[in-house]
Amino acid sequence: MGNKGFSALWPIFCLAFFVTLRLSRGDLSYSIPEEMKRESVIGNVAKDLGVDLRTLASRQARVDFEGSRKRYCDIKMNTGDLITLERIDRESLCGKKPSCVLKVDLVLENPLELHRVSLHIQDVNDNSPKFKKSLIEMEIRESAEKGNRFSIEEAHDADIGQNAVQRYTLEKNDNFILSVTSNKVELVLENKLDREKQKEMNLLLTALDGGSPQRSGTVVIHVTVLDANDNAPVFSQAIYKASLPENSPPDTIVITVSATDADEGLNGDVTYDFGHVSDDDLNLFTIDPKSGEIRVTGVIDFEESSSFEMRVEAKDGLGLTSYCKVIIDVTDINDNAPVIYLKSLNNPIPENVSPGTEVGIINVQDRDSDNNRQVRCSIQQNVPFKLVPSIKNYYSLVTTGQLDRELVSDYNITISATDEGSPPLSSSKTVQLSVADINDNPPVFEEQSYSAYVSENNKPGSTLCSVTARDPDWRQNGTVIYSLLPGEVNGAPVSSYLSVNGDTGVIHAVRSFDYEQFRSFKVQVMARDNGSPPLSSNVTVSVFISDVNDNSPQILYPAPEGNSFMTELVPKAAHGGSLVSKVIAVDSDSGQNAWLSYHIVKSTDPGLFTIGVHSGEIRTQRDISESDSMKQNLIVSVKDNGQPSLSATCSMYLLISDNLAEVPELKDISYDDKNSKLTSYLIIALVSVSTFFLTFIIIILGVRFCRRRKPRLLFDGAVAIPSAYLPPNYADVDGTGTLRSTYNYDAYLTTGSRTSDFKFVHITVTCANIAAFPF
Ligand SMILES: *[C@@H]1O[C@H](CO)[C@@H](O)[C@H](O)[C@H]1NC(C)=O
Ligand SMILES: *[C@@H]1O[C@H](CO)[C@@H](O)[C@H](O)[C@H]1NC(C)=O
Ligand SMILES: *[C@@H]1O[C@H](CO)[C@@H](O)[C@H](O)[C@H]1NC(C)=O
């Protein structure tokens, strides 16, 4: 407070203290502070010189300045005071001189008096310390060592003495302290600089004077820290991890490493390169030395290598290096299709394996990983096989149903494998599987039964028919061999009738057949395959023998020409149309071959008799007249209807007479002495019996016939026709008193040439059986 109050009272104090009259011989001396206001009183010269004011005025007191100096002061006449006219600046008048005296001449006239007035100008702290510039630029390399000194130009203060610069202060900072020695101002580096921490700083330096009040001046020292290569590059990460899909095309950017170097310029210029890389990986990646981009240059195959580890070096311009690690994990891409391996296969498989039999083993592999290697296997639907998953990627190929080689003998089983990648890849493999034969099919005849038709009298060895049996089995299991099953036909072994070609199934006749002996028979033919054990089946072959016209008609009545003694009596009174006799013939053939027709080939009197074409009945064509010859001779031909037809002829002797007495003449006509008596008797007996029998039948039929309509007598003579002579199958006598052939019997007849010469005729009639005709 005292200090402040002192400052405020400064001008008054100055006046009181410095403006003191210095009396010397004629000289005046005043001491005044600089920078006084205009017209400030320096001193009263009138008083100090001892001159009254009137004298002062009358003597024209005045002040003179040496040279062309400014008029700093003047005399105020009415008071006799010396006052300032100009601002008096000590610094401009005297500079740094420690004492500053302004000399003024005071002149009085009448008489001239010269007084020297010395004005001692006292310094006043009116100047602040001043730096030359307000900003000092400094550049200090960061490598500067502790203790290094950096001089600063000092501050200047126009004042002198205590009012000049007395001390400096430096704003507090981390690096520098101030050292001031004998007007040398220096910054001293106390802590090392780090450009990377602080690139520049402003330090405020203040200079203080010792005046009162104290004045100060400041300067800003701008320190720029210059770089030194004191930093190695630093990677942003110690370990870089990247994930790279396999098969990434060349030039794919995998990752960008980045290292920063805190240094500047060349010192901070980072280039990248791979550290040690194995030869395998060398060509897979490149690194851009400038940008640090790691790119793909080769083929990235997950299956070859699923990860890469590399060291990357960063180097600055002056060779400081650092390293980082780059780990590239390759991610799997589904680029491998599953591969199907057939590990084992039972081929061929027998067709009788039971369902569920393991046929083969399949292994599926996929080189990808995870889902991309999850494989599903399947086979097509329409085969009787399935895949049964087994351990790991193994599958069993198993039958699901019964196999039948005869239906499907080969399977192409397509196995498909699909992985679960996205998109999924698949592959397929076709397994060819054959089914081996088992003799499970017997031969089967194409027909239920076979019939063979053969004409009798066939040549031995002729082909009758052929049987065919099929066996779908394979090779010998399907090879069919035919054979006849043992059996008998008419008491003889079948093999004496037929033979069968074992390979072809063609059936041959062994002998010639006779229709008249038997008309059909059956044999069993077996078809057997060559399997082991063999399978067989049987079929019936019916052989039907057909008739051939191989038998000539046999004339039973009358006996053949030359051997007959038969003579028919024709009553003289016979009218036209009367039945006089009947030619009876048989044919042991059948059908057309036994259909007989009768014709008169020659006759004594052609107009007199006719013969029924099919009945063989001989009738008169007109009434007998007296003129007709008594002995009539007819030659009758009997033909069958076969192709060609066969025929037989006979002669019939007719005697037109009412009287048997005339019979002796017969001998002339027909009888030959050579005929044995026995034969004659037999014939007579036969004729008699037959006539009797026929008559009896006729009577019975006649009675039945007469009941219905009035009977007409067809012939009035006792014409005896032996009924036994009726043709076997062809007895269609038109209801006129002959038999329907409803009987079956054997007849032994003589044909007359020798007594013991009988001919056997077997007559078969369809209905009943009469065991034997009493003969
Ligand atoms: C199986 O494949 C083979 C060869 O491609 C072919 O010759 C044969 O006919 C096929 N079999 C079936 C039953 O499809
Ligand atoms: C025939 O079948 C048998 C089993 O019945 C079998 O062992 C054999 O191999 C088959 N023969 C042929 C040629 O297939
Ligand atoms: C065929 O006949 C033979 C002999 O009678 C017999 O042993 C065999 O079992 C028969 N075969 C068939 C399939 O009937």
Place of tokens 């002797």: 653
| CB of 412 shorter than 6 A to ligand 1 | yes
Q: Which of 408, 371, 727 is nearest to 584 (CA)?
A: 727
pLDDT at 36: 86
Give the closest ligand to the alpha carbon of residue 442: 3
pLDDT at 569: 82
| Distance from Cα 51 to the centre of ligand 2, integer Å | 177
8 Å CB contact between 574 and 624: yes
| CB of 475 shorter than 6 A to ligand 2 | yes
User: How far is residue 557's CA from residue 626's CA, in Å, rounded to a whole number?
Assistant: 28
Strands 609-611 and 617-620: antiparallel
Give the closest ligand to the alpha carbon of residue 479: 2
Residues 504, 505, 506, 510, CA torsion sign: positive
| Distance from Cα 449 to the centre of ligand 3, integer Å | 15
8 Å CB contact between 480 and 466: no
What is the mean pLDDT of each successive set of 10 residues along the chain, which is 775 residues long?
Answer: 42 44 61 87 86 85 74 85 86 80 84 85 86 86 87 83 86 89 84 86 90 88 86 90 92 93 85 84 88 92 88 87 91 92 93 94 92 91 92 92 92 93 92 93 95 92 94 92 92 92 94 90 94 94 91 84 67 86 89 91 89 91 85 90 90 81 50 51 69 75 59 38 40 34 32 34 32 32
User: How far is residue 359's CA from residue 344's CA, in Å, rounded to a whole number?
Assistant: 8
Q: Which of 282, 285, 333 is nearest to 306 (CA)?
A: 333
Q: Which of 461, 463, 506, 514 is nearest to 489 (CA)?
A: 514
Give the closest ligand to the alpha carbon of residue 407: 1
Number of the ligand 3 atom closest to the C-alpha atom of 485: 4
| CB of 410 shorter than 6 A to ligand 1 | yes
DSSP string for residues in 487-555: -EETTEEGGGTEEE-TTT-EEEESS---TTT-SEEEEEEEEEESSSS--EEEEEEEEEEE--S-S--EE
- Nearest-CA residue for ligand 1 atom 8 is 412
Place of tokens 């009941």: 707
| Distance from Cα 104 to the centre of ligand 3, integer Å | 181
Phi, psi values for residue 574, rounded to 5°: -60, 135
| CB of 135 shorter than 6 A to ligand 3 | no
| Distance from Cα 537 to the centre of ligand 3, integer Å | 7
pLDDT at 281: 76
| CB of 764 shorter than 6 A to ligand 1 | no
Strands 28-33 and 113-122: parallel
pTM higher than 0.75, yes or no? no
Q: Which of 636, 650, 629, 635 is nearest to 570 (CA)?
A: 629
Place of tokens 């039929």: 701
| Distance from Cα 388 to the centre of ligand 1, integer Å | 24
| Distance from Cα 522 to the centre of ligand 1, integer Å | 48
Top mutation candidate among 484, 535, 536, 537 for ligand 3, by most atoms within 8 Å of CB: 536
Provide CB contacts within 8 A for 527, sequence distance 6+: 443, 445, 467, 469, 471, 480, 481, 482, 505, 536, 537, 538, 539
Interval 11-54: pLDDT, tens: 444 444 444 443 334 688 888 888 888 888 888 888 888 888 88
- Nearest-CA residue for ligand 2 atom 14 is 437
Pull the structure tokens for residue 80. 């006799």
- State which amino acid sits at residue 286: T
Grouping H, G, I as helix, E, B as strand and the rest as coil, residue 455 is strand
| CB of 474 shorter than 6 A to ligand 2 | yes
Number of the ligand 1 atom closest to the C-alpha atom of 412: 1
User: How far is residue 106's CA from residue 140's CA, in Å, rounded to a whole number?
Assistant: 62
| Distance from Cα 540 to the centre of ligand 3, integer Å | 11
pLDDT at 563: 57
Number of the ligand 2 atom closest to the C-alpha atom of 532: 5
Give the closest ligand to the alpha carbon of residue 535: 3
- State which amino acid sits at residue 119: L
User: How far is residue 747's CA from residue 755's CA, in Å, rounded to a whole number?
Assistant: 16
- Nearest-CA residue for ligand 3 atom 12 is 537
| CB of 297 shorter than 6 A to ligand 3 | no
Give the closest ligand to the alpha carbon of residue 485: 3
User: How far is residue 245's CA from residue 332's CA, in Å, rounded to a whole number?
Assistant: 6
pLDDT at 718: 39
User: Which domains does the chain show, CATH number per domain?
Assistant: 28-122 (2.60.40.60), 135-226 (2.60.40.60), 234-331 (2.60.40.60), 339-436 (2.60.40.60), 444-546 (2.60.40.60), 554-656 (2.60.40.60)
Pull the structure tokens for residue 563. 């051997």
User: How far is residue 726's CA from residue 741's CA, in Å, rounded to a whole number?
Assistant: 7
Taking residue 170's Cβ as centre, other Cβ atoms within 10 Å add up to: 19
